């Protein structure tokens, strides 16, 4: 009897669950009338947009006026692109659409908006090429090689290289070629800009080779002490002019030399940058400051890493509020993975935070995108690029749970051939679901961009939803403070100062 009762009980439960399942599926699949359909559609879209990055912000009366104008300009660019998809700026290569970008009224308006800070930029590719060009007019600059060579000419500041084979004074070469021709050729060599970038750079490897060659060519120009000081201060001014109020730059062990080719102590260089930053803040009271993330290439062995660990630890100990973190740089696919270095990296002092490049790749399931796993396990505070992140759902959850910020660099990702059309950029997923994210510029001088405005324009028009508005821009700026390497007290002060800057801009605009 007990057995029969138990069987009947189980049958009844199964029937009940079957009915529930049937009822549930019938409700889901039931077709609404048109009025219900419209209501459900509006509710669905509203529910989605409540998950947007920036959706939690409320706009003031001043912000609403600015937002109305901003969205009119955005809609105009969207409409032009929707009606003529070939000429939609974010659908084409940035290198061939630079002029059209700068003629956009939306871009010009975004230039006037405060943007917070830059969280991901390599210092020697942040200041404009004009700063490098100006440096070639200084005395004692020598050149070896021709502009037509694949790697370009070599440069060196020295009192006299006339007895060394192949070296000639730049002033002499410039006069012989004429100023106009020389400067044009040099300017072309300092960037990746070409008339037909799609065919000029056939692969990621080919453009990375050219990219690295530019860094190599520039290094002896910016590493001369008088140039370095001028370059650093002029770069801060260019940031400020672009409505950027804070910077965390990436740079290797500073090797700055004198005219006699004597290397200056790294501590002297760091102290000079701190002094120059403080002097800049005195003349620009609303500039919030600068911090450095120490870098080395991801191609060295563990002995090399140990040397850099010792140096960054020493610099961090002496300048704890300036040298704040560590990263590995260079093309990720051919470079060594974080796993190779993991055992050594775990020995780093706890006070030195990690800000790893990771997932700057199109591959899936390879050593490169698994750098994202290692970055998380190593305790990274932010991730540079994170292009492959959306292919890893568990990692996405971890990034949200741990509040690991993704440093998006839209133009860099396209120029270096990870994506052709910005509408397909994975950052759209991060924008759509309120992930911790900032927009940065990586190496803007390499493609003749402003420090940050071009990337904000591309992100706002090409990656974000057509419905993303001023709140997205404000949230991105606020995120650059929230996820910065500033300590809590510094963040509170910076946030208060920046909100005052923002509110003043809203009144003026």
pLDDT bracket for residue 10 (50, 70, 90): low
Residue 180 annotated to the active site = no
Residue 318 shares a structural domain with residue 188? no
49 in a structural domain:
no
Catalytic residue chosen out of the listed positions 225, 332, 360, 407: 360
Dihedral sign from CA coordinates of 375, 381, 383, 389: positive
pTM of the full structure: 0.93
For the chain, the domain total comes to 2
Residue 255 shares a structural domain with residue 316? yes
Dihedral sign from CA coordinates of 255, 256, 259, 264: negative
Residue 334 shares a structural domain with residue 346? yes
Residue 198 shares a structural domain with residue 247? no
Residue 271 shares a structural domain with residue 221? yes
Q: What six digits make up the tokens of 399?
A: 């990034």
Residue 85 shares a structural domain with residue 183? no
251: domain range?
A: 79-128+215-508
SS3 category, 86 = helix
Q: pLDDT at position 22, please?
A: 45
- Phi and psi at residue 325, to the nearest 5°: -165, 180
- Judged by phi (left if over 0) then psi (alpha if -120 to 50, else beta), residue 438 lies in beta
SS (H, E, C) 338-390: HHHHHHHHCCCCCCCEEEEEECCCCCCCCCCCCHHHHHHHCCCCEEEECCCHH
Q: pLDDT at position 229, please?
A: 95
Residue 276 shares a structural domain with residue 412? yes
Residue 154 shares a structural domain with residue 293? no
- Ordered DSSP codes for 277-333: HHHHHHHSTT--EEEEEEEEETTS-HHHHHHHHHHHHHHHHHSTTTEEEEEEES-TT
Q: Domain with 272 in it: what CATH number?
A: 3.20.20.140
pLDDT in tens, 226-284: 999 999 999 999 999 999 999 999 999 999 999 999 999 999 999 999 999 999 999 99
Interior angle at CA 93, CA 91 and CA 96, nearest 5: 120
58 in a structural domain:
no
Q: What is the dihedral of CA 81, 86, 92, 98, to 10 degrees?
A: -70
Percentage of residues of the chain with pLDDT beyond 70: 94
Residue 110 shares a structural domain with residue 140? no
SS3 category, 449 = coil
Whole-Å CA distances, 125 to 218, 247, 249: 9, 14, 10
Percentage of residues of the chain with pLDDT beyond 90: 93
pLDDT bracket for residue 20 (50, 70, 90): very low
- Count the helix, strand and coil residues of the chain and give each as a percent rounded to the nearest 5: 55, 10, 35
Catalytic residue chosen out of the listed positions 308, 385, 392, 454: 385
pLDDT bracket for residue 4 (50, 70, 90): low
Residue 308 annotated to the active site = no
Residue 385: CB partners within 8 Å, gap ≥ 6?
A: 357, 358, 359, 360, 406, 407, 408, 409, 412, 413
User: What is d(CA 458, CA 437) in angstroms, rounded to the nearest whole number?
Assistant: 15
Q: What is the dihedral of CA 386, 392, 397, 401, to 10 degrees?
A: -40
pLDDT in tens, 298-346: 999 999 999 999 999 999 999 999 999 999 999 999 999 999 999 999 9
**Is 279 in contact with 287 (CB distance < 8 Å)?**
no
């Amino acid at each position: 009897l007990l057995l029969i009762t138990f069987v009947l009980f189980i049958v009844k439960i199964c029937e009940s669950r079957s009915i529930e399942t049937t009822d549930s599926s019938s409700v889901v699949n039931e077709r609404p009338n048109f009025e219900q359909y419209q209501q459900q559609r509006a509710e669905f879209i509203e529910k989605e947009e409540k998950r947007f990055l920036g959706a939690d912000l409320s706009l003031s009366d001043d912000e609403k006026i600015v937002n109305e104008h901003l969205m009119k300009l955005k809609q105009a660019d969207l409409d032009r692109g929707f009606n003529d998809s070939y000429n939609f700026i974010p659908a084409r290569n940035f290198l061939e659409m630079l002029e059209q970008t700068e003629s956009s009224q939306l871009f010009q308006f975004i230039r006037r908006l405060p943007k917070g800070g830059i969280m991901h930029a390599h210092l020697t590719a942040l200041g404009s090429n004009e700063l490098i060009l100006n440096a070639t007019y200084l005395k004692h600059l020598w050149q070896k090689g021709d502009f037509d060579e694949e790697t370009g000419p070599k440069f060196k500041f020295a009192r006299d290289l006339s007895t060394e084979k192949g070296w000639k004074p730049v002033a002499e070469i410039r006069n012989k070629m004429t100023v106009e021709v020389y400067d044009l050729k040099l300017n072309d060599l300092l960037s990746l800009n070409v008339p037909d970038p799609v065919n000029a750079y056939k692969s990621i490897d080919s453009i990375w080779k050219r990219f690295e060659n530019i860094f190599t060519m520039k290094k002896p120009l910016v590493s001369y002490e008088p140039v370095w000081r001028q370059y650093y201060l002029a770069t801060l001014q260019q940031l400020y002019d672009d409505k950027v109020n804070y910077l965390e730059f990436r740079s290797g062990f500073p090797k700055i030399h004198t005219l006699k080719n004597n290397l200056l102590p790294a501590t002297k260089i760091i102290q000079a940058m701190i002094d120059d930053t403080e002097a800049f803040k005195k003349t620009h009271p609303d500039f919030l400051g600068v911090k450095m993330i120490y870098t080395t290439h991801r191609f060295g062995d563990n002995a090399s890493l140990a040397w850099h660990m010792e140096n960054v630890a020493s610099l961090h100990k002496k300048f704890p509020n300036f040298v704040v973190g560590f990263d590995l740089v260079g093309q990720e696919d051919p470079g060594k993975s974080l796993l190779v270095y993991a055992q050594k990296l775990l020995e780093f002092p706890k006070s030195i935070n990690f800000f790893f490049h990771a997932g700057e790749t199109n591959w899936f399931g390879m050593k490169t995108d698994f750098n994202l796993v290692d970055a998380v396990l190593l305790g990274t505070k932010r991730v540079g690029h994170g292009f492959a992140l959306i292919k890893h759902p568990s990692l996405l959850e971890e990034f949200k749970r741990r509040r690991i910020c993704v440093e998006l660099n839209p133009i860099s990702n396209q120029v270096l051939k990870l994506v052709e059309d910005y509408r397909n950029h994975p950052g759209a997923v991060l924008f759509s679901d309120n992930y911790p994210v900032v927009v940065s510029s990586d190496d803007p001088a390499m493609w003749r961009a402003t420090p940050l405005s071009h990337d904000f324009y591309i992100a706002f028009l090409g990656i974000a939803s057509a419905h993303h508005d001023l709140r997205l821009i404000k949230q991105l700026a606020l995120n650059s403070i929230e996820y910065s390497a500033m300590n809590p007290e510094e963040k509170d002060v910076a946030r208060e100062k920046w909100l005052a800057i923002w509110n003043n801009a809203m009144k003026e605009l």
